[in-house]
Amino acid sequence: MAIAPLKSLRHKLTNVSLRWVLVAAVLQTMGVIGLSACSSSSTLQLGGNAAVSQAAIVTLRFSGWQSNPNEGKLLGQLLRDFEAKNPTIKVKYEAINSEYMDVIRTRLIGEVAPDVFYLEAFEAPKLVKSGVLEPLDPYITADFHLEDFQPSLLSAFQSDGKLYGVPKDFSTLALFYNRRSLAAARIPRPPQTWDDLLTVSKRLTIQKPGGSIQQYGFGLTPELARQQFMIQAFGGKLVNQYGYAAFATPEGMKGLALVVDQYRRDRSSAQPTDVGATWGSEMLGQEKAAMVIEGPWSIPYFKETFPNLSYGTAEVPTINGKRGTMAFTVAYVMNRQSKHKQAAWTLIRYLTDQQGMKAWAKQGLALPSRRSLLSELGYDRNPLYAPFVKGATYATIWQAGENLPIIRTNFNNQFVSALLGEQPLPTAMKRAQDTANREIYLAN
C-alpha cells in the first residue's frame, strides 16, 4: 500500500477524531510493511521519495597469522573479491602473529572466538576433542569435489568420520643445497642417502686457517617437528597407542644418534644459533651452511633476500633405505558457536575451491592441497618444487594426538641438551619421555 496518498488525504481532514483514525491506519499499515520486511530478511528505509529494500549484511570475524607482508596483501585481495561476489557478507580479518593458539583458546573459552580461523594439524586433535569446532560435512556438496584434496591432509582434520577443517595448503621438507659449494668440492649431485649426506657434509665443511669453521656442510634444526621422521627411520615411534610418548627406545635412538654424532663428533653440522642465524635458510643464504632441510617457504625467501644465491632442491636423503620427510598443513575451521554458520561455510568454500586456492597458491610459500592445482600450476614439474610434491606421497603429517604439545616441549628441551653434550642422548630422551608422560597423566 502506498503511503503518499494517505498523507495527502490527512492534510484535508479537519475533524480531529477522523485525523486520529487515519494516523492509526497509517501506523498499522507501516507495521504490516515492517513485519513483511523482517520475514524476508530485508530492511525498510523511509526517506527521500521512495522506500528501499536491502538485504541484511552479515559480518564474519576471521583470524589467522601472517608470515610476510606479501601474504597479507594477497589474503586482503582474496577477501575483497569474496565480498564483491557475496555482497551480503562482510569479513573482518585479524592477523594474530604472537601466541596465536593461546589467543584462540582464550577467546573460545570466553565465547568470543572468530567465526572462521586457521588451525594447524598439530593443534587439531585437542580442539576437536573439546567440541569447539563445527563439523563441516553437512555443508559440503558434491560440486566442491572433496576427493580432489590430498587424502592424508584431510585425515589430519577428521575424527570419528567427521571433517572439521578444509586444508588450505601444505608444505613438506626437502634438501636445499648450494650449487657452487657442491661444484667447488667436485660433488656431482646432492646426496641420495643419509650416509652420503654425512660423507658429503665433511667435504663441504670449510675451516679457516685458525681452526674456526667458515662453512658447515649441513645446517640442522633441533626440533621434534624436524626429527620425527628420523625417529621412525629404524622402526621407532613418537607415541604409543594410548597417546603417551614412546620415542626413547633403541630404535628411536638410532635415527636421532645420526644427528647428534654429526654435530658433536664430525663437526660438519651446526644449528642456526651457532653461526648467528635465526633459521636454516638464512644459514644457506649467508653461505654458512652448504645444505639445509627446509620447506617451500624458503624459495620466495631466497628470491627476495638472497637473489644471487645459486641453489637447488632434492628429496630428503633416504635413511635405512626408507624415504621420509615431514608434512605441515593448516586448515580453515568453523567455530561451533558461530551465529553465521552458513556464511562462514561460504567463506571457507570460496577460499578452498579451485579459484580461491589457485589465487592463494601462486605465491609459492606453500603448496595447494588440491591435487589438480599441483598439476595445473606446474609445481610437480618445477625443478625447485617437484621434490616437495613427491614428498607428499610418503611424508609424516606433523600430528600425533592431543598430547603432542606436551611431548614436543619436553623433547626439544632435552634433545638440545644432548646435542650440546650436556648429557648422553639416551639419558636425555628417557628424561624427556618420562617427564612428558607424567605431565600427560596429570593432565588427564
Residue 281 lies in a domain: yes
- Please tell me the predicted confidence (pLDDT) of residue 55: 57
Q: How far is CA 167 from the centre of its chain?
A: 8
Query: Does residue 241 share a domain with residue 160?
Result: no
Residue 139 lies in a domain: yes
126-135, 356-365, 406-415: which range is least confident on average? Answer: 356-365
Instruction: Enter the DSSP assignment of 99.
Output: S
Residue 431 lies in a domain: yes
Query: Does residue 195 share a domain with residue 155?
Result: no
Tens of pLDDT, residues 243-295 = 999 999 999 999 999 999 999 999 999 999 999 999 999 999 999 999 999 99
Residue 30 lies in a domain: no
Cβ atoms 127, 119 nearer than 8 A: yes
Query: Does residue 213 share a domain with residue 184?
Result: yes
Sequence-distant (6+) residues with CB within 8 A of 216 are: 201, 204, 205, 268, 269, 270, 274, 275, 283, 288, 289, 290
Asked if the model's pLDDT at residue 35 lies above 50, the reply is no
Instruction: Enter the DSSP assignment of 239.
Output: B
Q: Are strands 89-95 and 58-64 parallel, antiparallel or unpaired?
A: parallel
Report, as an integer, the average pLDDT of 380-386: 96
Range of the domain at 99: 58-172+329-382
Q: What does the block give as the cell for 235?
A: 622402526
Residue 36 lies in a domain: no
Query: Does residue 259 share a domain with residue 348?
Result: no
Query: Does residue 186 share a domain with residue 310?
Result: yes
Where does a domain end: 382, 409, 426? 382
Report, as an integer, the average pLDDT of 335-363: 94
Query: Does residue 430 share a domain with residue 320?
Result: yes
Q: How far is CA 418 from the centre of its chain?
A: 30
Q: Identify the residue with better confidence: 12 or 187.
A: 187
Cβ atoms 42, 55 nearer than 8 A: yes
Q: What does the block give as the cell for 252?
A: 628411536
Query: Does residue 141 share a domain with residue 238?
Result: no
Asked if the model's pLDDT at residue 21 lies above 90, the reply is no
Among 161, 208, 388, residue whose Cα is nearest residue 297: 388
Sequence-distant (6+) residues with CB within 8 A of 40 are: 53
Query: Does residue 158 share a domain with residue 133?
Result: yes
Query: Does residue 356 share a domain with residue 275?
Result: no
Mean pLDDT of the chain: 88
Which CATH number fits the domain that encloses residue 68?
3.40.190.10
Q: What does the block give as the cell for 424?
A: 648422553
Q: pTM for this structure? A: 0.85
Query: Does residue 136 share a domain with residue 190?
Result: no
Query: Does residue 363 share a domain with residue 337?
Result: yes
Residue 186 lies in a domain: yes
Tens of pLDDT, residues 203-250 = 999 998 888 899 999 999 999 999 999 999 999 999 999 999 999 999
HEC string of 178-227 equals EHHHHHHCCCCCCCCEHHHHHHHHHHHCEECCCCCEEEECEECCCCHHHH
Number of domains, the chain: 2
Q: Using N-to-C axis directions, what is the helix angle for 16-39 and 4-12, rounded to 10°?
A: 170
Residue 153 lies in a domain: yes
Query: Does residue 435 share a domain with residue 293?
Result: yes
In DSSP notation, 120-178 reads ETTTHHHHHHHT-B---GGG--GGG-GGGB-HHHHHTTEETTEE--EEEEEEE-EEEEE
Query: What is the amino acid identity at position 317?
Result: P
Residue 275 lies in a domain: yes
- Please tell me the predicted confidence (pLDDT) of residue 29: 39
Assign 58 to helix, strand or coil: strand
